[in-house]
A = this chain, B = another copy of it.
Amino acid sequence: MSHILLVEDEPSIQALVALNLRKAGYDVVAALDAATAVIAVDAQLPALVLLDWMLPDRPGTDLLRHWRANARTAKLPVLMLTARSEEEDIVTALDAGADDYLTKPFSVKELNARVQALLRRAKPDATTQSVEIGRLRLDPLTAQVTAEGEPIKLSPLEFRLLHFFMKTPNHVHSRIRILDAVWGDHVFIEERTVDVHIRRLRETLAKHRLETVIETVRGGGYSFVG
């Protein structure tokens, strides 16, 4: 369920990489230029960015520096894609704050390996790690939720919502925080919509004798009790 942003202006490469990453189970958002990439990151912080060295509107390193300078995106894992393996380029890339680089042409296998490595390294915060609390188990990789082995069917949004709660059990989250984390920073959504989705989630969980896991904290928000 990891969110990957691919910033690449060459359509053939973009298609190839996106296809492979999707096949590997990642959620891929593509951007053709730096401006689009900034907006995409702004809307939802991806787990990883694949960033092409050459972009039509701005050098990739420039964009990278921009992200590094911003607190919210400072630790965003970035894998740079460089056309040639010129050492100078690589130095510049790492200097700008790239976590890793890959020179074209690269094999699909190598790409996947690097991506996985970066995601794993960047995750003390388990986003690909499955979470298990009480009788509930949620696996982001396979997008499955089970209660004592029995699968529970959830909509994508409900899944993200539940995942968010299970990542920090017993913590109270305000509706604003929930919106930011589950929907994305820049969405324009009614706070009360959270309530509705909480209800739907509760309803589904209740079918598996889990009616008490999500608790209302009046005036504060909701929390997962475990």
Contacts and interface: CB of A to CB of B under 8 A. Distances in A.
A181 interface: no
B90 A35 contact: yes
Interface residues of A, number: 38
Interface in A102-120: 110, 113-114, 117, 120
Identical chains bound together, number: 2
A155 B218 contact: yes
Given A90-B35, A188-B110, A220-B143, A117 B176 contact: yes
A57 B88 CA distance: 9
Nearest to A154: B218
Interface in A137-151: 141-144
Contacts of A87: 35-36, 38-39
Contact of A91 (B38, B114, B120): B38
